[in-house]
Each structure stands twice: as C-alpha cells, then as structure tokens.
Amino acid sequence: MEILSLQNPRVKAWAQLQEKKHRDKQNKFVVEGIHLVQEALLSGADVECVAFDMAKGIPRELREIPDNGRRVEWIGVTEAIISKVSHASTPQPVFAVVRKERETWDKLFADIGRPVIVLDGLQDPGNVGTIIRSADASGAAGVILGKGCADLYNPKTLRSTMGSVFHLPIIEGELTELLPRAREKGARLVTTSLEGKTSAFHYDFTGFCWIVIGSEGSGVSPEAAALVDDAIIIPMPGRAESLNAAMAASVLLFEALRQREYR
C-alpha cells in the first residue's frame, strides 16, 4: 500500500500522535527509526503499521524479521509525510504506529527476587527513558511511573529507552495506592536521601524491594516519603554535589544486580 498525500486522514491522525492528548485519545504512539521499529516488531508489540520512505524501500533490517502471524500493515509514504509525522529534526526513513498495551500489576510480582524501580514525579523525558533502559539492562522486574512523570510515550522518552520500553513491564499509577499494596505483598520500599545513614553499598537489595526515585528538583514527594521503609545514601567522595535521577537509579539497580548475581 502507498500513501502520497499529506492531506490523507491517516497521515493527519499519525501527525497528531506527537501530542499526548491525541496519543491518549487514539490509544497509540509512534516510534521512529530502524532500531526502535525493529525492537517493536521483535518484541511482539501491537504494531498497527510500519510506514517507510518509498523512495528508499523497506530497510533490510526490517525485511529480515519473521512475520510470526502478525498482521502488520506496511505502507510506502513520501519523505514529506515522514517529516510531518516525525518529531525529530532529521527524520529517519521509517516509523511505526503502535497500539498501547495496558500492563497488569501482577507482572511486577512474577519474580520477587528482582527489584522494581518506582519514579515519583520525574519530569525529564530523557531521565525517565534512561532509567527504563537501565532497569532493562540490570534485569529489574519492572518500572512504575507515578503521577507527574514525563509521558512514557513522549518521543524523547521513547528514544531514550533505546527499545527497552518493549522489554519489561511499565505501569503508570498513583503511588499512594500502589506503594501500600506492594508493602502488603512483602516489598521493602527504599529511597535515597542525603540524610540516609546506610550506604547504598551496604544495603541488602537481595530481598523483595521497590526502589523509589524522586524528581530532579525536589526529590521524593512527602506522600511517597511517608510510605518508604528505608532511606540510604550513595557515597560521593568526590566534589560533585549530587547525581541526577537517572544516574542515581542506575547505581542502585546495578548494585542490586551485583548483590544478586556477583557476590
């Protein structure tokens, strides 16, 4: 199939997906570039269609992915259409429209030996995406995005995940509801604090723990802080005053991995 007109209704609907209100209304989002489209297809995400620059053809990396019975529509489009739909200043020659899938809360308890990372009000899409990538890389059980976090389907967030958005459960929810439920199921809630007495490298991450990371500017909200069991500190013998949220989360996630697998 080919679409050539910028006025085509589908093109207009795709372009609207740059805005959160339309992503919510259509229950879809766009991923751009060969790598992200490849990850979406390989992971079995609910891909509605893949649009590619008809002048260049379907990228070789995507042609080699087995179909596995999926009904993915492949659509040749013009460079102008790709530019209209793309968020990037230099658009890549392919994008996919993906239907959102609601993850279930139960998935976070499938393996209680791995930590869950909880984000409380992180507004920077790059930090949110990087933490999802670190959670994936370190083998975390999942990620929770609390109220006030950057939109998971923001193009900058998706780009920062480098495809990890398709690899592990990511749940959006109200922390004042989710955190007490996690404690009821035996999770230990831990966060970082400059007033923390225990070093992150002496804390026991081998049990069932949820790691709460606060916002870049104000840290963990008072509501979430009231529910946390333990406050720990990341030692910083150098002269830097602090780490950003993504760096702090990555340190804790990989310390948890070290304790689980490389003691």
pLDDT at 3: 93
Quote the tokens at residue 80: 């102008």
Quote the tokens at residue 193: 């604090």
8 Å CB contact between 136 and 39: no
Highest mean pLDDT among 1-5, 89-93, 110-114: 1-5
Give me the sign of the Cα torsion angle 253, 255, 257, 259. negative
Q: pLDDT per residue over 227-257, tens digit each?
A: 999 999 999 999 988 889 999 999 999 999 9
Provide the whole-model pTM.
Answer: 0.94
Count of CB atoms within 10 A of residue 91's CB? 18
Quote the tokens at residue 192: 């970082």
Q: pLDDT per residue over 139-149, tens digit each?
A: 999 999 998 99
Closest among 161, 80, 175, 90 to 125, alpha carbons compared: 161
Q: pLDDT per residue over 69-84, tens digit each?
A: 678 999 999 999 999 9
pLDDT at 8: 96
Average pLDDT over residues 52-56: 95
For 208, residues 6+ apart whose C-beta sits below 8 A from its C-beta are 112, 113, 185, 186, 187, 188
State the number of CA atoms in the 13 A half-sphere of 155 facing the CB: 18
Quote the tokens at residue 115: 């930590």
Q: What residues form DSSP beta bridges with 50?
A: 74, 96
The span from the CA of 51 to the CA of 58, in Å, is: 9
Average pLDDT over residues 78-92: 91
Q: pLDDT per residue over 166-206, tens digit each?
A: 999 999 999 999 999 999 999 999 999 878 889 999 999 99
Largest CA distance in the chain: 62
Closest among 62, 50, 52, 59 to 82, alpha carbons compared: 52
State the number of CA atoms in the 13 A half-sphere of 246 facing the CB: 15
